[in-house]
Amino acid sequence: MEIQGLPGRLLADLGPAIASGEIPEGAVLRSEELEAKYGVSRTVVREAVRVLESMRMVAPRRRVGITVQPKAGWDVFDPLVIRWRLAGADRSAQLRSLGSLRVAVEPAAAALAAVHATDDHRRELGVLAVELTVSARSDLSVFLQHDIAFHATVLRASGNEMFAHLGDTVGAVLTGRTEHQLMPHRPEPYAVALHREVADAICEGRSGDAETAMRTIVQGALDELNEVLG
C-alpha cells in the first residue's frame, strides 16, 4: 500500500520513527503538535494516523492523544511495517523472522499449487520462469519484479486464501533484501534453475517435487542471509 501526497510524507517520517523505537512504545503524539511540526492540516494528520491505526501501531484516544502501541500488537505482515522495520536497527531480526516464515509456508504452498493451480496459474508460472532466466543475466531490478510475481503466483495457485494473502509480505521481504544489498550482485544460476523446477513441477502436478524445489530455494535464501548477517 503506497500512501500518496502529504499523508504519505507524514507517514514516511512517523512510520520508521515508531518502527525503530525512536518514538517509543507508550509515547503520546498530539495532533496539534504534528500539524505544527510538519506544516500540515488536521485532515492530513488524521489520514496518516488512520493508516497507522489500521496497522495497530497507534491508538488515538480523546483527551489523551495518539498513543504508540506495543510492538507485539502490530500488524507485522503489513508490507509498510516490514519496510519500516527493515530500515531500522532490528533489520537482521526482521529478515530472519520473515525468512523462517517463508521456509514454513512456501514449500507447502508449492505442493498445494501442484494440485490446485489453474491453467492460467500454470501459464503465468511458465512465463515468469523464462523471464527470471533472462532478467537474471541483465537487470537485477527487473529480476526482482519477476521474482516477486513468481512467488506471489505460487501462493495464489495453492488455493489457500491465507497463503495467497502473504504475497505482498513475501514481496516486501524480497524488495528489502535487494534494497539493503543483501542479495548477490547477480542471481545465482542454480537458484534461477530451481525456480524453473518449481514451475515445471507445478505445471506437471508433481506435488512432492514442487515442495522440495521450493524448500531448497527458501532455505537457501535463509542460509545465505544468516551467512551475510553473521
157-192 pLDDT, tens digit per residue, is: 999 999 999 999 999 889 988 888 777 778 889 999
User: 116 with 31, same domain?
Assistant: no
Which set of grid coordinates corresponds to residue 202? 507445478
In a domain, 23, yes or no: yes
Percentage of the chain modeled with pLDDT above 70? 98
pLDDT above 90 for 31 = yes
**Residue 77 maps to a domain:** no
Per-chain mean pLDDT for the chain: 93
- Note whether 178 and 115 are same-domain residues: yes
Residue 119 lies in a domain: yes
Cβ count near 72 (within 10 Å): 8
Q: How many CB atoms lie within 10 A of CB 68?
A: 20
Task: Note whether residue 83 is domain-resident.
Answer: no
The Cα 198–Cα 209 span in angstroms is: 7
Specify the CATH number for the domain of residue 35: 1.10.10.10
Mean pLDDT, range 141-155, rounded to an integer: 96
Q: Do 164 and 191 sit in the same domain of this protein?
A: yes
Residue 17 covered by a domain:
yes
Distance CA 221, CA 116 (A): 26
- Find cell 484516544 and name the residue: 61
Same domain, 97 and 192: yes
Examine residue 79 and state whether it is found in any structural domain, yes or no: no
Residues 46 and 129 in one domain: no
What's the domain range around 111? 90-229
pLDDT for 107 beyond 80: yes
Q: In terms of domains, do 138 and 214 share one?
A: yes
Q: What is the pLDDT of residue 25?
A: 96
23-30: Cβ within 8 A, 24+ apart: 23/68, 24/68, 25/68, 25/69, 25/70, 25/71, 26/67, 26/68, 27/67, 27/68, 28/64, 28/65, 28/66, 28/67, 28/68, 29/58, 29/65, 29/66, 29/67, 29/68, 30/65, 30/66
Any domain includes 76: no
Q: Are residues 23 and 105 in the same domain?
A: no
The pLDDT-based confidence of 100 (bands split at 50, 70, 90) is very high
33 with 122, same domain: the answer is no
Q: Are 173 and 97 within one domain?
A: yes
Rg over alpha carbons for the chain, rounded to the nearest Å, is 20
In a shared domain, residues 133 and 189: yes
Query: Domain total for the chain?
Result: 2
| CATH, residue 177 | 1.20.120.530
Q: Which of 71, 105, 123 is a domain's end point?
A: 71
Single pTM value for the model: 0.86
98 shares a domain with 53: no
Q: What is the mean pLDDT of residues 36-63?
A: 94
**Are 204 and 112 in the same domain?**
yes
Residue 1 has pLDDT above 70, yes or no: no
